[in-house]
Amino acid sequence: MSLSSLTLNETHDTELRSWVPSANADGCPFPIQNLPYGVFRRAGSEEDFRVGVAIGDQILDLPAAQSAGAFSGFDEATRQAAHAACSGSRLNALMALTPASWSALRLALSHLLRTASPHQTELAACLVPQAQAEYDVPAAIGDYTDFYTSIHHATTVGKLFRPDNPLLPNYKWVPIGYHGRVSSIAVSGQQFRRPLGQTKAPDADAPTFGPCKRLDYELEIGIFIGGGNALGEPVPMEEAEDKVFGLCLLNDWSARDVQAWEYQPLGPFLSKSFASTISPWIVTLEALAPYRCSWSRPDGDPQPLPYLDAPTLRTQGAFDVQLEVLIQTAAMRQAGQLPQRLSLSNYRDAYWTVAQLVTHHTVNGCNLRPGDFLGSGTLSGPAPDEAGSLLELTTGGKSPLTLASGEKRVFLEDGDTIILRAVARRDGLPLIGFGESAGTVLPARSQG
Protein backbone atom coordinates (compact mmCIF):
# COMPACT_ATOMS: atom_id res chain seq x y z
CA MET A 1 0.00 0.00 0.00
CA SER A 2 1.11 3.53 -0.69
CA LEU A 3 3.02 5.22 2.09
CA SER A 4 1.20 8.47 1.23
CA SER A 5 -2.07 7.02 2.47
CA LEU A 6 -0.44 5.95 5.75
CA THR A 7 1.67 9.03 6.56
CA LEU A 8 0.62 11.61 9.14
CA ASN A 9 1.31 15.31 8.52
CA GLU A 10 0.34 18.70 9.90
CA THR A 11 -3.26 18.40 8.64
CA HIS A 12 -3.78 15.68 11.26
CA ASP A 13 -2.64 17.85 14.19
CA THR A 14 -5.23 17.34 16.92
CA GLU A 15 -4.67 20.89 18.17
CA LEU A 16 -5.84 22.51 14.93
CA ARG A 17 -8.97 24.65 15.19
CA SER A 18 -11.00 26.41 12.53
CA TRP A 19 -12.38 29.94 12.34
CA VAL A 20 -15.67 28.22 11.46
CA PRO A 21 -17.02 27.82 15.02
CA SER A 22 -19.17 24.72 14.42
CA ALA A 23 -16.10 22.78 13.23
CA ASN A 24 -14.66 22.96 16.75
CA ALA A 25 -17.67 21.55 18.59
CA ASP A 26 -17.27 18.23 20.38
CA GLY A 27 -18.51 15.40 18.20
CA CYS A 28 -18.65 17.50 15.04
CA PRO A 29 -18.35 15.05 12.10
CA PHE A 30 -16.56 17.60 9.91
CA PRO A 31 -13.69 19.14 11.91
CA ILE A 32 -10.75 20.76 10.16
CA GLN A 33 -8.94 17.38 10.25
CA ASN A 34 -11.59 15.88 7.91
CA LEU A 35 -12.31 18.22 4.93
CA PRO A 36 -14.31 15.80 2.73
CA TYR A 37 -15.33 16.74 -0.82
CA GLY A 38 -18.83 16.86 -2.26
CA VAL A 39 -20.92 18.45 -5.02
CA PHE A 40 -23.68 20.87 -4.03
CA ARG A 41 -25.83 23.88 -4.79
CA ARG A 42 -28.28 25.96 -2.76
CA ALA A 43 -31.47 23.97 -2.20
CA GLY A 44 -34.30 24.84 -4.55
CA SER A 45 -32.07 26.95 -6.80
CA GLU A 46 -31.18 26.53 -10.45
CA GLU A 47 -27.50 27.10 -9.75
CA ASP A 48 -24.94 24.80 -11.32
CA PHE A 49 -23.69 22.07 -9.03
CA ARG A 50 -20.15 22.76 -7.89
CA VAL A 51 -17.47 21.27 -5.66
CA GLY A 52 -17.42 22.08 -1.99
CA VAL A 53 -15.65 20.98 1.18
CA ALA A 54 -17.51 20.28 4.43
CA ILE A 55 -16.29 22.24 7.44
CA GLY A 56 -18.42 22.13 10.58
CA ASP A 57 -22.03 22.67 9.57
CA GLN A 58 -20.95 24.71 6.52
CA ILE A 59 -19.70 24.08 2.99
CA LEU A 60 -16.76 25.99 1.58
CA ASP A 61 -17.71 26.81 -2.01
CA LEU A 62 -14.44 26.07 -3.83
CA PRO A 63 -15.15 28.00 -7.06
CA ALA A 64 -16.15 31.02 -4.97
CA ALA A 65 -12.98 30.65 -2.91
CA GLN A 66 -10.90 30.47 -6.07
CA SER A 67 -12.59 33.58 -7.46
CA ALA A 68 -11.78 35.34 -4.20
CA GLY A 69 -8.08 34.60 -4.82
CA ALA A 70 -7.72 32.22 -1.88
CA PHE A 71 -5.35 29.86 -3.72
CA SER A 72 -3.19 32.48 -5.42
CA GLY A 73 -0.55 32.47 -2.70
CA PHE A 74 0.17 28.76 -2.89
CA ASP A 75 2.53 26.77 -5.11
CA GLU A 76 1.77 25.70 -8.65
CA ALA A 77 0.75 22.14 -7.68
CA THR A 78 -1.84 23.51 -5.27
CA ARG A 79 -3.17 26.01 -7.80
CA GLN A 80 -3.50 23.27 -10.42
CA ALA A 81 -5.37 21.02 -8.00
CA ALA A 82 -7.68 23.88 -6.98
CA HIS A 83 -8.32 24.67 -10.65
CA ALA A 84 -9.18 21.02 -11.31
CA ALA A 85 -11.56 20.98 -8.34
CA CYS A 86 -13.31 24.09 -9.64
CA SER A 87 -13.41 23.14 -13.33
CA GLY A 88 -16.85 21.57 -13.47
CA SER A 89 -19.79 20.11 -11.65
CA ARG A 90 -18.02 16.88 -10.68
CA LEU A 91 -14.79 15.83 -9.00
CA ASN A 92 -13.38 13.76 -11.87
CA ALA A 93 -10.75 16.32 -12.89
CA LEU A 94 -9.37 16.46 -9.35
CA MET A 95 -9.58 12.67 -9.06
CA ALA A 96 -7.44 12.34 -12.20
CA LEU A 97 -4.50 14.07 -10.50
CA THR A 98 -1.85 12.45 -8.30
CA PRO A 99 -1.95 11.78 -4.55
CA ALA A 100 0.66 14.53 -4.18
CA SER A 101 -1.76 17.01 -5.78
CA TRP A 102 -4.63 15.86 -3.58
CA SER A 103 -2.41 16.25 -0.53
CA ALA A 104 -1.26 19.72 -1.60
CA LEU A 105 -4.84 20.94 -1.97
CA ARG A 106 -5.84 19.41 1.37
CA LEU A 107 -2.93 21.20 3.06
CA ALA A 108 -3.93 24.50 1.45
CA LEU A 109 -7.53 24.07 2.60
CA SER A 110 -6.30 23.31 6.10
CA HIS A 111 -4.29 26.55 6.14
CA LEU A 112 -7.18 28.57 4.72
CA LEU A 113 -9.67 27.30 7.28
CA ARG A 114 -7.47 27.41 10.39
CA THR A 115 -7.92 29.91 13.17
CA ALA A 116 -6.13 33.19 12.37
CA SER A 117 -6.12 32.50 8.63
CA PRO A 118 -5.53 35.78 6.78
CA HIS A 119 -8.24 34.70 4.32
CA GLN A 120 -11.04 34.44 6.88
CA THR A 121 -12.84 37.61 5.80
CA GLU A 122 -13.12 36.80 2.10
CA LEU A 123 -13.78 33.09 2.69
CA ALA A 124 -16.57 33.72 5.17
CA ALA A 125 -18.60 34.96 2.20
CA CYS A 126 -17.89 31.63 0.43
CA LEU A 127 -19.64 29.49 3.05
CA VAL A 128 -23.03 27.88 2.47
CA PRO A 129 -24.87 26.21 5.39
CA GLN A 130 -25.21 22.48 4.82
CA ALA A 131 -28.85 22.74 5.91
CA GLN A 132 -29.49 25.05 2.96
CA ALA A 133 -27.80 22.88 0.33
CA GLU A 134 -28.76 20.00 -1.92
CA TYR A 135 -26.31 17.47 -3.29
CA ASP A 136 -25.56 15.37 -6.32
CA VAL A 137 -23.43 12.30 -6.99
CA PRO A 138 -19.91 13.74 -6.55
CA ALA A 139 -18.34 12.15 -9.64
CA ALA A 140 -19.38 11.03 -13.09
CA ILE A 141 -19.15 7.29 -12.42
CA GLY A 142 -18.01 5.33 -15.44
CA ASP A 143 -18.05 1.83 -14.01
CA TYR A 144 -19.24 0.26 -10.76
CA THR A 145 -18.04 -3.02 -9.29
CA ASP A 146 -19.61 -4.45 -6.14
CA PHE A 147 -17.60 -6.88 -4.02
CA TYR A 148 -18.44 -9.37 -1.24
CA THR A 149 -15.80 -8.62 1.39
CA SER A 150 -17.48 -9.56 4.68
CA ILE A 151 -16.92 -13.17 5.62
CA HIS A 152 -19.47 -12.77 8.41
CA HIS A 153 -22.14 -11.72 5.91
CA ALA A 154 -21.13 -14.40 3.42
CA THR A 155 -21.21 -17.11 6.10
CA THR A 156 -24.54 -16.08 7.60
CA VAL A 157 -26.24 -15.81 4.22
CA GLY A 158 -24.58 -19.01 3.02
CA LYS A 159 -25.97 -20.92 5.99
CA LEU A 160 -29.49 -20.01 4.91
CA PHE A 161 -28.99 -21.95 1.68
CA ARG A 162 -26.10 -24.33 2.44
CA PRO A 163 -26.11 -25.04 6.20
CA ASP A 164 -23.29 -27.58 6.01
CA ASN A 165 -21.06 -25.62 3.61
CA PRO A 166 -21.94 -21.91 3.70
CA LEU A 167 -18.84 -20.57 1.95
CA LEU A 168 -18.07 -21.51 -1.62
CA PRO A 169 -14.53 -22.89 -2.20
CA ASN A 170 -13.16 -19.69 -3.75
CA TYR A 171 -14.26 -17.20 -1.08
CA LYS A 172 -11.10 -17.25 1.06
CA TRP A 173 -8.84 -17.05 -1.97
CA VAL A 174 -10.29 -14.42 -4.29
CA PRO A 175 -12.23 -11.15 -3.75
CA ILE A 176 -15.62 -11.89 -5.31
CA GLY A 177 -17.25 -9.11 -7.33
CA TYR A 178 -19.73 -8.35 -10.09
CA HIS A 179 -20.32 -5.42 -12.44
CA GLY A 180 -23.17 -3.22 -11.16
CA ARG A 181 -25.41 -0.57 -12.67
CA VAL A 182 -24.22 3.07 -12.63
CA SER A 183 -27.31 4.92 -13.85
CA SER A 184 -29.39 4.17 -10.74
CA ILE A 185 -26.77 5.33 -8.22
CA ALA A 186 -28.05 8.48 -6.50
CA VAL A 187 -27.09 10.64 -3.57
CA SER A 188 -28.60 10.57 -0.07
CA GLY A 189 -32.28 11.49 -0.11
CA GLN A 190 -33.00 9.09 -2.98
CA GLN A 191 -36.58 7.90 -3.21
CA PHE A 192 -37.31 4.89 -5.38
CA ARG A 193 -40.25 2.70 -6.23
CA ARG A 194 -40.41 -0.86 -5.03
CA PRO A 195 -39.09 -2.86 -7.98
CA LEU A 196 -41.15 -5.23 -10.08
CA GLY A 197 -39.73 -8.51 -11.23
CA GLN A 198 -40.02 -12.25 -11.59
CA THR A 199 -40.06 -14.39 -8.47
CA LYS A 200 -40.63 -18.09 -7.98
CA ALA A 201 -41.85 -19.83 -4.84
CA PRO A 202 -39.98 -23.06 -4.00
CA ASP A 203 -43.12 -25.17 -4.51
CA ALA A 204 -44.36 -23.38 -7.65
CA ASP A 205 -44.13 -24.77 -11.17
CA ALA A 206 -43.63 -21.37 -12.78
CA PRO A 207 -42.52 -17.88 -11.74
CA THR A 208 -44.87 -14.95 -11.24
CA PHE A 209 -44.42 -11.26 -12.00
CA GLY A 210 -45.11 -8.47 -9.53
CA PRO A 211 -43.71 -6.21 -6.82
CA CYS A 212 -40.74 -7.43 -4.81
CA LYS A 213 -41.85 -8.71 -1.40
CA ARG A 214 -38.42 -9.20 0.18
CA LEU A 215 -36.85 -5.77 -0.21
CA ASP A 216 -33.64 -5.28 1.74
CA TYR A 217 -30.81 -2.83 2.33
CA GLU A 218 -27.08 -3.53 2.30
CA LEU A 219 -24.64 -1.57 4.45
CA GLU A 220 -21.49 -0.92 2.41
CA ILE A 221 -18.49 1.35 2.01
CA GLY A 222 -18.07 2.95 -1.41
CA ILE A 223 -14.59 3.46 -2.88
CA PHE A 224 -14.00 6.22 -5.45
CA ILE A 225 -11.09 5.58 -7.80
CA GLY A 226 -8.70 8.41 -8.56
CA GLY A 227 -5.86 8.24 -11.08
CA GLY A 228 -6.66 4.84 -12.53
CA ASN A 229 -4.32 2.67 -14.62
CA ALA A 230 -3.63 1.99 -18.27
CA LEU A 231 -5.23 -0.97 -20.02
CA GLY A 232 -3.02 -4.01 -19.54
CA GLU A 233 -1.09 -2.51 -16.60
CA PRO A 234 -2.01 -4.16 -13.25
CA VAL A 235 -1.75 -2.08 -10.08
CA PRO A 236 0.47 -3.75 -7.45
CA MET A 237 -0.51 -3.69 -3.79
CA GLU A 238 2.19 -1.14 -2.99
CA GLU A 239 0.54 1.36 -5.35
CA ALA A 240 -3.12 0.39 -4.95
CA GLU A 241 -4.16 3.13 -2.54
CA ASP A 242 -2.54 5.77 -4.79
CA LYS A 243 -5.47 4.99 -7.08
CA VAL A 244 -8.12 5.64 -4.39
CA PHE A 245 -9.46 9.18 -4.00
CA GLY A 246 -11.63 8.42 -0.98
CA LEU A 247 -14.48 6.56 0.69
CA CYS A 248 -18.19 7.15 1.18
CA LEU A 249 -21.24 5.23 2.37
CA LEU A 250 -23.22 2.98 0.03
CA ASN A 251 -26.62 1.32 0.39
CA ASP A 252 -26.90 -1.34 -2.30
CA TRP A 253 -30.64 -2.01 -2.08
CA SER A 254 -31.55 -5.61 -2.90
CA ALA A 255 -34.71 -7.42 -4.01
CA ARG A 256 -34.00 -10.73 -2.30
CA ASP A 257 -36.85 -12.70 -3.89
CA VAL A 258 -35.95 -11.49 -7.38
CA GLN A 259 -32.29 -12.24 -6.63
CA ALA A 260 -33.01 -15.81 -5.54
CA TRP A 261 -34.65 -16.59 -8.87
CA GLU A 262 -32.26 -14.78 -11.21
CA TYR A 263 -28.79 -15.09 -9.72
CA GLN A 264 -27.85 -18.47 -11.20
CA PRO A 265 -25.75 -18.82 -13.27
CA LEU A 266 -24.46 -15.26 -13.80
CA GLY A 267 -25.21 -13.45 -10.52
CA PRO A 268 -27.32 -10.39 -9.61
CA PHE A 269 -29.09 -8.40 -12.30
CA LEU A 270 -32.49 -6.73 -11.82
CA SER A 271 -32.39 -7.48 -8.10
CA LYS A 272 -29.67 -4.85 -7.66
CA SER A 273 -29.96 -2.37 -10.53
CA PHE A 274 -33.08 -0.45 -9.48
CA ALA A 275 -31.40 1.82 -6.87
CA SER A 276 -28.18 2.42 -4.95
CA THR A 277 -27.77 5.31 -2.51
CA ILE A 278 -24.49 6.95 -1.54
CA SER A 279 -23.57 9.63 0.98
CA PRO A 280 -22.72 13.05 -0.53
CA TRP A 281 -19.26 13.42 1.06
CA ILE A 282 -16.07 11.65 0.02
CA VAL A 283 -13.65 11.24 2.93
CA THR A 284 -10.06 11.10 1.65
CA LEU A 285 -7.68 8.32 2.62
CA GLU A 286 -5.33 10.98 3.95
CA ALA A 287 -7.99 12.12 6.44
CA LEU A 288 -8.33 8.51 7.59
CA ALA A 289 -4.59 7.89 8.06
CA PRO A 290 -4.76 8.17 11.89
CA TYR A 291 -7.55 5.58 11.96
CA ARG A 292 -5.74 2.77 10.18
CA CYS A 293 -5.61 -0.54 12.02
CA SER A 294 -4.22 -4.02 11.70
CA TRP A 295 -5.64 -6.62 9.33
CA SER A 296 -5.38 -10.35 9.83
CA ARG A 297 -6.78 -13.66 8.78
CA PRO A 298 -8.33 -16.11 11.27
CA ASP A 299 -6.17 -19.02 12.35
CA GLY A 300 -6.38 -21.84 9.82
CA ASP A 301 -7.51 -19.62 6.92
CA PRO A 302 -5.26 -19.39 3.87
CA GLN A 303 -3.04 -16.35 3.62
CA PRO A 304 -3.54 -14.16 0.52
CA LEU A 305 -1.64 -15.09 -2.60
CA PRO A 306 1.55 -13.03 -3.05
CA TYR A 307 0.00 -10.50 -5.45
CA LEU A 308 -2.59 -9.66 -2.76
CA ASP A 309 -0.03 -9.21 0.00
CA ALA A 310 2.16 -6.30 1.09
CA PRO A 311 4.54 -5.51 3.99
CA THR A 312 2.13 -2.98 5.53
CA LEU A 313 -1.05 -5.03 5.00
CA ARG A 314 -1.17 -6.64 8.44
CA THR A 315 -0.08 -3.60 10.43
CA GLN A 316 -2.15 -0.86 8.75
CA GLY A 317 -4.23 -2.47 6.02
CA ALA A 318 -7.68 -1.91 7.51
CA PHE A 319 -9.80 1.11 8.49
CA ASP A 320 -11.34 1.53 11.94
CA VAL A 321 -14.66 3.01 10.79
CA GLN A 322 -17.80 2.42 12.83
CA LEU A 323 -20.90 1.76 10.72
CA GLU A 324 -24.52 2.24 11.77
CA VAL A 325 -27.89 1.39 10.21
CA LEU A 326 -31.13 3.06 11.29
CA ILE A 327 -34.75 2.78 10.20
CA GLN A 328 -37.59 5.28 10.28
CA THR A 329 -40.94 3.95 9.16
CA ALA A 330 -43.74 6.11 7.78
CA ALA A 331 -45.62 5.68 11.06
CA MET A 332 -42.55 6.77 13.03
CA ARG A 333 -42.22 9.92 10.92
CA GLN A 334 -45.89 10.73 11.36
CA ALA A 335 -45.59 10.32 15.13
CA GLY A 336 -42.43 12.41 15.27
CA GLN A 337 -40.31 9.47 16.41
CA LEU A 338 -36.59 9.49 15.69
CA PRO A 339 -34.99 6.76 13.57
CA GLN A 340 -34.16 3.54 15.42
CA ARG A 341 -30.82 1.79 15.22
CA LEU A 342 -30.87 -1.66 13.62
CA SER A 343 -27.16 -2.54 13.78
CA LEU A 344 -23.67 -1.30 14.56
CA SER A 345 -20.58 -2.80 12.92
CA ASN A 346 -17.06 -1.84 11.83
CA TYR A 347 -15.22 -1.78 8.52
CA ARG A 348 -12.11 -3.27 10.19
CA ASP A 349 -13.85 -6.68 10.14
CA ALA A 350 -13.82 -6.91 6.33
CA TYR A 351 -12.09 -10.01 4.97
CA TRP A 352 -10.57 -8.12 2.02
CA THR A 353 -9.05 -4.62 2.17
CA VAL A 354 -9.36 -1.59 -0.12
CA ALA A 355 -5.88 -2.18 -1.53
CA GLN A 356 -6.63 -5.84 -2.25
CA LEU A 357 -9.81 -4.93 -4.13
CA VAL A 358 -8.00 -2.46 -6.38
CA THR A 359 -5.11 -4.85 -7.03
CA HIS A 360 -7.35 -7.81 -7.78
CA HIS A 361 -9.62 -5.74 -10.03
CA THR A 362 -6.63 -4.79 -12.21
CA VAL A 363 -4.55 -7.97 -12.06
CA ASN A 364 -5.94 -9.15 -15.40
CA GLY A 365 -5.10 -5.80 -17.03
CA CYS A 366 -8.50 -4.19 -16.45
CA ASN A 367 -8.18 -0.41 -16.56
CA LEU A 368 -9.82 1.67 -13.83
CA ARG A 369 -10.58 5.32 -14.56
CA PRO A 370 -11.05 8.46 -12.46
CA GLY A 371 -14.52 8.37 -10.95
CA ASP A 372 -14.95 4.60 -11.14
CA PHE A 373 -16.69 3.22 -8.09
CA LEU A 374 -16.23 0.05 -6.03
CA GLY A 375 -18.59 -1.27 -3.37
CA SER A 376 -17.28 -3.26 -0.42
CA GLY A 377 -20.26 -5.58 -0.28
CA THR A 378 -22.42 -5.88 2.82
CA LEU A 379 -20.36 -5.20 5.94
CA SER A 380 -21.41 -7.36 8.87
CA GLY A 381 -19.54 -8.04 12.08
CA PRO A 382 -19.14 -11.30 13.97
CA ALA A 383 -22.05 -10.70 16.38
CA PRO A 384 -25.71 -11.16 15.35
CA ASP A 385 -26.53 -7.49 16.06
CA GLU A 386 -23.72 -6.40 13.74
CA ALA A 387 -25.46 -7.67 10.61
CA GLY A 388 -25.57 -5.30 7.65
CA SER A 389 -28.87 -6.47 6.15
CA LEU A 390 -32.37 -7.54 7.15
CA LEU A 391 -31.75 -10.90 5.48
CA GLU A 392 -29.30 -11.61 8.32
CA LEU A 393 -31.08 -9.80 11.14
CA THR A 394 -34.32 -11.72 10.51
CA THR A 395 -32.65 -15.07 9.69
CA GLY A 396 -33.88 -15.05 6.14
CA GLY A 397 -37.27 -13.69 7.13
CA LYS A 398 -37.98 -16.27 9.84
CA SER A 399 -37.46 -13.99 12.87
CA PRO A 400 -39.31 -10.66 12.57
CA LEU A 401 -37.87 -7.59 14.25
CA THR A 402 -40.09 -5.65 16.65
CA LEU A 403 -39.44 -1.92 16.50
CA ALA A 404 -39.86 0.54 19.35
CA SER A 405 -42.98 1.83 17.58
CA GLY A 406 -44.54 -1.63 17.97
CA GLU A 407 -44.27 -2.33 14.25
CA LYS A 408 -42.68 -5.53 12.99
CA ARG A 409 -40.33 -5.88 10.07
CA VAL A 410 -39.16 -8.93 8.18
CA PHE A 411 -38.20 -6.97 5.06
CA LEU A 412 -38.77 -3.34 4.13
CA GLU A 413 -42.26 -1.89 3.75
CA ASP A 414 -43.38 1.05 1.62
CA GLY A 415 -42.53 4.34 3.31
CA ASP A 416 -39.54 2.95 5.21
CA THR A 417 -36.42 5.10 5.25
CA ILE A 418 -33.04 3.48 5.85
CA ILE A 419 -30.20 5.70 7.07
CA LEU A 420 -26.53 4.69 7.02
CA ARG A 421 -23.97 6.58 9.10
CA ALA A 422 -20.25 6.13 9.69
CA VAL A 423 -17.56 7.69 11.86
CA ALA A 424 -13.88 7.06 12.47
CA ARG A 425 -13.18 7.57 16.16
CA ARG A 426 -10.22 6.95 18.42
CA ASP A 427 -9.32 8.22 21.90
CA GLY A 428 -7.48 11.52 21.72
CA LEU A 429 -8.37 12.12 18.06
CA PRO A 430 -11.15 14.16 16.45
CA LEU A 431 -14.17 12.33 15.12
CA ILE A 432 -14.15 11.94 11.33
CA GLY A 433 -17.68 11.67 9.96
CA PHE A 434 -18.99 10.48 6.62
CA GLY A 435 -22.38 12.16 6.82
CA GLU A 436 -25.25 9.85 5.99
CA SER A 437 -26.86 7.89 3.19
CA ALA A 438 -30.64 7.99 3.45
CA GLY A 439 -33.12 6.40 1.06
CA THR A 440 -36.88 5.85 1.12
CA VAL A 441 -39.02 3.10 -0.40
CA LEU A 442 -42.05 4.22 -2.43
CA PRO A 443 -44.90 1.96 -3.54
CA ALA A 444 -44.41 -0.08 -6.70
CA ARG A 445 -45.71 1.28 -9.98
CA SER A 446 -49.07 0.04 -11.10
CA GLN A 447 -48.94 -2.99 -13.36
CA GLY A 448 -52.14 -1.95 -15.09
Q: Report the catalytic residues.
A: 153
Length of the chain in terms of residues written:
448
CA distance 9 to 264: 49
3-state secondary structure (DSSP) of residue 149: coil
CA distance 57 to 396: 40
CA distance 83 to 60: 15
HSE, side-chain direction, 13 A CA sphere, residue 335: 12
Nearest to 16 by CA among 114, 116, 141: 114
Q: Which ranges of 174-295 does DSSP label H, i.e. alpha helix?
A: 237-240, 256-262
- Across 180-321, where does the E strand assignment appear? 185-187, 190-193, 196-199, 208-211, 215-216, 219-225, 244-251, 254-255, 276-278, 283-284, 292-293, 318-319
For the purposes of burial, counting CB atoms within 10 Å of the CB of 125, is it exposed (0-12), middle (13-18) or buried (19 or more)? Answer: exposed
Q: Are 394 and 384 in contact (CB under 8 A)?
A: no
Question: Dihedrals φ, ψ of 426, to 5°?
Answer: -160, 140
Q: How far is CA 356 from CA 55, 201, 213, in A?
A: 31, 38, 35
Chain centroid to CA 240: 18
Number of Cβ within 10 Å of residue 116's Cβ equals 7
CA distance 199 to 388: 24
Q: Which ranges of 185-249 does DSSP label H, i.e. alpha helix?
A: 237-240
CA distance 323 to 349: 11
Q: Which ranges of 327-446 does DSSP label H, i.e. alpha helix?
A: 330-334, 354-362, 390-393
